[in-house]
Amino acid sequence: MAYPAARRPGLHDQAWHYLLGLAPDIALLQEALPPGWVRTEGTLVHGPITWWGSVIFSPRLPLERFRLPEESNLHALGRYLAFATASLPDGSDALIASVHAVARKATKAQLGSLDAAVVSRRSAGRPRVNDVVFAGIEPIVREKPFIVSGDWNTARLFDSVYEGTAGAEFFDRAGERAWFECARKMHPEEVRTWFRPGNRPYQLDHAFCDAALWERLKDVRVGTDAAEELGLSDHAPLILDFDIASIAITNLNSKTSQADTT
């Protein structure tokens, strides 16, 4: 039987072996279903996973699950988000969030007690999932060391393709709240992380950090081979190098079934 790339048997195992080959201190993944053997390779933090979910993984650094405030709207996102506190090699701690903000309008449950008029972008109308994710995470990481990264399903290039300003508004808002977009330190233009055939060269995956970590960020690159040569996903990993840790941020997005990964 022929399998499309996203359903290829063993794809998750291949992707996890690729990830381990990067030798990251911390990895943030989305749409992932960790094979059983991965648990012997390091520490995993994630919520309940059915089929797939967001995951934080470290082969060597201590991770502790971060518990969201009871009143947070983010509980409604379930498996799409994962949160952990990581002990970095220099002895400091950072709050880490792995984000999968699906490309949809937010539901009432996802909005929670947030004011839709405040959360939405001026040109986007009703809040999108990425709007409510940002609004929910921002007060949690405020004045803390943090890395928040994943598949945000937005890009500045959208504004050229669809003749709007919603993409720029998303990143302008993040910058106003002291979220530093990691890739922009090394690359004045967006870098391609989305490799689905027939689609534009979008950067849908974005990593943000606080000002102190931004100063310690030394390099940002894209592992294009994962998508273009190996076909592990239609997303390519962002790889961030800090002078205190090498943090790999990747998006598997392969949606393999349980049977395919055991």
261 vs 228, residue with greater confidence: 228
Q: How far is CA 163 from CA 157, 160, 168, 198, in A?
A: 10, 5, 11, 20
> What SS3 class is residue 253?
coil
pLDDT tens digits for 80-108?
Answer: 999 999 999 888 999 999 999 999 999 99
User: Between 166-176 and 129-141, two packed helices, what is the crossing angle to 10 degrees?
Assistant: 10
> What SS3 class is residue 203?
coil
pLDDT tens digits for 136-165?
Answer: 999 999 999 999 999 999 999 999 998 889
Locate 68 and state its tokens: 């969201």
* Average pLDDT value over all residues in the chain: 89
CATH number of 5-254, picked from 3.60.10.10, 3.40.50.720, 3.30.930.10, 3.40.640.10: 3.60.10.10
Domain ranges of the chain: 5-254
Residue 9: the pLDDT is 56
Residue 247: the pLDDT is 62
Is this prediction's pTM over 0.85? yes
Residue 212: the pLDDT is 95
Residue 73: exposed, middle, or buried by beta-carbon count in 10 A (0-12, 13-18, 19+)? buried
3-class SS string, 218-238: EEEEECHHHHHCCCCCCECCE
Confidence of residue 123 (pLDDT cuts 50, 70, 90): confident
Examine the pLDDT at 250 and tell me if it is beyond 70: no
Confidence of residue 259 (pLDDT cuts 50, 70, 90): very low
> What SS3 class is residue 249?
strand
129 contacts 118 by C-beta, under 8 angstroms = no
Examine the pLDDT at 254 and tell me if it is beyond 70: no
Q: What is the mean pLDDT of residues 40-45?
A: 96
pLDDT tens digits for 169-206?
Answer: 999 999 999 999 999 999 999 999 999 999 999 999 99
Residue 246: the pLDDT is 63
